[in-house]
């Protein structure tokens, strides 16, 4: 971990159109070191990386101030290709892989090995013939360096999602003279076990003397794998320190600049739960959603309750909401206040006083090319015929009413935008989520189902969204069902939490149950099962 840094960025400042997004920031990475770069959304992480890679967006907006040194030498990086030549690689959050290419072709993309032909003398190396044998050998070598063994001629399309990421890493590793590898939120799309494997691979790569910059919002992963970290907040360098001197609470505190203990304070809300009235009941409920199957689930949610569905990715918790909404075919019964939903009729759940916030914000949740206003009123207009002028057989949009409502929602949820006419595509993730929530609230629901409410949004926005859900529940008595991968979040707001494993409810636990109980429930066991086998693992 000692020795001269491979990368040192000094005094980096950058402004976009008068908006200072980086102020005199330093970033240093040493050989064999895993260096975490943390900060809220908008803290300047992406801009810093864009500068490092010489992305066109930086140069087309007036460049930046400060110096970049690689291996002690001052360099200017004009484009991503030059960054590559300096030995800097990037593992992207969204895979940069070609499904129809073999693993070898993906690993060697743009850097194919060629043998000169007669034509290459006249037309340059683009007429070289590919040396597939040598390419395959290189690919195998790169794969074995990250501990993967797979036939390299297999097409990437057929690989499990976790392995696609490993191919992506192998591609970066294969670049000659690679010195620094940037991992941009690499675990965001992975299941927990895949994420663990990834961290292993990062350690393995670091042992080979390559510096790693690890960008993530999962602080436990920072503690697990990083040697040192840089914390950015609002474009400023807050701290560069060794990880072993820090705790999660301290890092989170420095990131958002105020002490966080719980995401939401619910202690002072006094609510009366109606134990006798069942708001939502699932009976023998199955959903055929690929990758998130629900199989013959039975569960009931009481009126006025905040109910959580947790569990690992791919176990079926996401399938529940998609089945009730009618987006995927389902079997069995779903009852809302005792009334059976017609699940094959799209929108039946909406008509029965339910509202949804989908986990797929950009795909299902939003009309990306429509304004915030239209997004907020859309479901209500379609289902309840609100915001409409009736003129005989025709009805037209009541612009005044819809605008007033949108402005009210923007104020209420603190949606950061230029106005109700801004396209929802151009909003940040957190604000898009707030728009989804605003639309659900506009439905004035009895039951609100929210899936992954805080996925991909920063801690500040997260807190606001959760607080609002709690408030809604306390003030209006709306029954709220939260489906989330983040247990911390569920435990801070829910009355009861159902852990879903293999498409069934494995356990229903109170939020203050022990960590071990939750952990066991996720693997489909209860404390009693574990004790029966005489193997209780405490964390």
Partner 1 sequence: MKNKEDQRSQSTPVTEVALPDESRSRKVLSWVFDNKVMLLFGILCIGAVAVSGNSTSFVVENIFIRFGRNGFTVLSLLIPVLAGMGLNFSIVIGAIAAQVGLFFAVDWGMAGMPGMLVAFAIATPLSVLFGFGVGRLFNKMKGAEMIAGLILGFFADGLYQLFFLYILGGVLPIRSENLGIPGGIGIKNTIDLTGNMKYALDRVKMIDLVLVLFIVIALLSVIRIITHLKNKKTFPVGAAVLLIGSAVLYGLTYIPAIEQYLMADQLAVIDAIGIVCLLTVLRSVWKLAENKRHPDAHFRTRRHIILIAGAVVVYAATYIPFVRDIVLSAKIAVLPFALVAGLCVFNQAFLSTRLGQNMRTVGQSQVIANASGIHVDRVRILAMIISTVLACWGQLIYLQNLGTFATYGAHLQVGQFAIAALLVGGASVQKATNKQAITGVILFHTLFIVAPEAGKALFNNAMIGEYFRVFVSYGVIALALAMHAWQRKVKPQLEMPR
Q: How far is the CB of 110 from partner 1 (least distance, A)?
A: 3
Q: What would the two tokens of residue 450 be?
A: 């929210």
Question: Which C-beta is closer to partner 1: that of 57 or that of 96?
Answer: 96
Strand ranges, E, within 185-305: 211-215, 228-233, 236-242, 274-287, 294-303
Q: Does 189 bind partner 1 (CB under 8 A)?
A: no
Contact window for partner 1 (CB under 8 A) among 1-9, 59-67, 140-148, 441-449: 140-148
| Contacts for 71 with CB less than 8 Å, ≥ 6 apart | 4, 6, 179
Instruction: Using the minimum distance from each CB to partner 1, give the nearer residue, 287 or 466.
Output: 287
What mask of x and - would describe binding to partner 1 in positions 295 to 314, judged by CB under 8 A?
xx------------------
Closest by CA position to 480, among listed 443, 445, 439? 445
The C-alpha atoms of residue 482 and residue 117 are separated, in whole angstroms, by: 62
Number of residues that bind partner 1 (CB under 8 A): 59
Nearer to partner 1, 152 or 359 (CB): 152
The contact pattern for partner 1, residues 253-292, with x = CB under 8 A and - = no contact, is ---------------------------------xxxxx--
Integer Cα distance of 327 and 334 in angstroms? 14
Of 156-175, binders to partner 1 (CB under 8 A) are 158-160, 163, 166
Residue that has been written with the tokens 């915001």 in this structure: 387
Residues 59-118 interacting with partner 1 (rule: CB under 8 A): 80-81, 84, 96-101, 105, 109-112, 114, 117-118
Phi/psi of residue 317, each to 5°? -65, -35
Helix (H, G, I), strand (E, B) or coil at 334: strand
Joined together, the tokens standing for residue 189 give: 């799309």
Of 111-130, binders to partner 1 (CB under 8 A) are: 111-112, 114, 117-118, 125-130
Residue 32 phi, psi (nearest 5): 75, 10
Chain centroid, CA 32 distance in Å: 27
Cβ nearer to partner 1, comparing 142 with 355: 142
Find the part of the chain contacting partner 1 (CB under 8 A) among 149-157, 261-269, 406-414, 487-495: 149-157
- Give the nearest distance from C-beta 92 to partner 1 in angstroms: 8
DSSP string, 178-214: --EEEEESTTTTS-HHHHHHHHHHHHHHHHTT-EEEE
CA distances from 134 to 103, 113, 140, 141 (A): 14, 7, 10, 11
- Selected binder of partner 1 within 4, 61, 192, 204 (CB under 8 A): 204
Closest to partner 1 by CB, 101 or 337: 101
Please tell me the distance from the alpha carbon of residue 156 to that of residue 271, in angstroms, as a whole number: 52
Closest distance between partner 1 and the C-beta of residue 103, in Å?
A: 10
* Residue of 460, 396, 450, 405 lying closest to 428 (CA atoms): 460
Query: Residue 268 Cβ, how far from partner 1 at the closest point, in Å?
Result: 43
- Burial class from Cβ neighbours inside 10 Å (0-12, 13-18, 19+) for residue 34 reads buried
Q: How far is the CB of 132 from partner 1 (least distance, A)?
A: 8
Identify which of residues 296 and 514 has a Cβ nearer to partner 1 in the complex.
Answer: 296
CB of residue 228 vs partner 1: minimum separation in angstroms?
22
Least Å distance, CB 294 to partner 1, is 7
- Please give the Cα distance from 169 to 438 (Å, whole number): 39
Residues making contact with partner 1 (CB under 8 A): 80-81, 84, 96-101, 105, 109-112, 114, 117-118, 125-130, 132-133, 141, 144-145, 147-151, 153-154, 158-160, 163, 166, 197, 200-201, 204, 207-208, 286-290, 293-296, 328-329, 331, 503
């Amino acid at each position: 971990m000692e020795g001269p840094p491979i990368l040192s960025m000094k005094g980096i400042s950058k402004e976009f159109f008068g908006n200072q997004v980086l102020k005199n920031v330093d970033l240093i990475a040493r050989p064999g070191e895993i260096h975490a770069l943390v900060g809220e959304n908008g803290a300047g992480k992406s801009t810093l990386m864009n500068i490092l890679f010489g992305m066109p967006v930086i140069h087309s907006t007036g460049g930046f101030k400060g110096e970049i040194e690689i291996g002690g030498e001052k360099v200017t990086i004009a484009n991503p290709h030059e960054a590559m030549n300096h030995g800097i690689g990037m593992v992207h959050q969204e895979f940069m892989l070609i499904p129809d290419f073999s693993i070898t072709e993906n690993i060697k993309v743009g850097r194919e090995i060629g043998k000169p032909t007669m034509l290459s003398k006249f037309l340059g190396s683009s007429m070289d013939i590919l040396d597939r044998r040598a390419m395959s050998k290189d690919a195998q070598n790169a794969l074995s360096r990250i501990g993967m063994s797979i036939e390299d001629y297999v097409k990437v399309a057929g690989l499990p999602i976790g392995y696609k990421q490993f191919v992506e890493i192998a591609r970066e590793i294969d670049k000659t003279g690679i010195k620094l590898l940037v991992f941009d939120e690499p675990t965001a799309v992975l299941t927990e076990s895949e994420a663990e494997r990834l961290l292993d691979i990062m350690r393995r790569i670091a042992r080979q003397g390559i510096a790693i910059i690890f960008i993530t919002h999962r602080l436990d992963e920072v503690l697990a794998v990083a040697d040192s970290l840089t914390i950015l907040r609002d474009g400023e360098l807050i701290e560069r320190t060794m990880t072993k001197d820090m705790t999660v609470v301290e890092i989170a505190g420095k990131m958002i600049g105020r002490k966080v203990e719980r995401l939401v304070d619910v202690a002072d809300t006094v609510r009366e739960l109606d134990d006798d009235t069942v708001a939502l009941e699932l009976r023998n409920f199955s959903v055929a959603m690929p990758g998130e199957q629900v199989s013959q689930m039975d569960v009931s949610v009481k009126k006025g309750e905040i109910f959580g569905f947790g569990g690992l990715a791919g176990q079926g918790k996401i399938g529940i909401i998609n089945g009730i909404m009618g987006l995927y075919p389902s079997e069995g019964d779903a009852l809302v206040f005792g009334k059976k939903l017609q699940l094959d009729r799209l929108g039946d759940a909406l008509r029965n006083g339910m509202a949804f916030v989908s986990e797929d914000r950009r795909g299902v949740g939003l009309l990306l090319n429509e304004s915030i206003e239209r997004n907020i009123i859309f479901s209500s207009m379609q289902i309840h015929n609100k915001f409409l002028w009736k003129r005989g057989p025709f009805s037209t949009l009541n612009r005044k009413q819809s605008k007033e409502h949108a402005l009210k929602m923007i104020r209420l949820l603190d949606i950061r935008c230029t106005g109700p006419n801004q396209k929802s595509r151009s909003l940040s993730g957190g604000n898009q989520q707030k728009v989804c929530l605003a639309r659900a609230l506009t439905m004035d629901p009895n039951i609100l189902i929210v899936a992954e409410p805080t996925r991909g949004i920063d801690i500040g926005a997260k807190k606001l969204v959760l607080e609002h859900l709690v408030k809604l529940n306390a003030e209006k008595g709306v029954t709220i069902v939260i489906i989330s991968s983040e247990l911390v979040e569920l435990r801070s707001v829910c009355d009861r939490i159902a852990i879903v494993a293999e498409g069934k409810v494995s356990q229903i636990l109170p939020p203050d149950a022990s960590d071990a109980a939750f952990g066991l429930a996720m693997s489909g066991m209860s404390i009693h099962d574990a004790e029966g086998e005489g193997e209780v693992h405490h964390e």
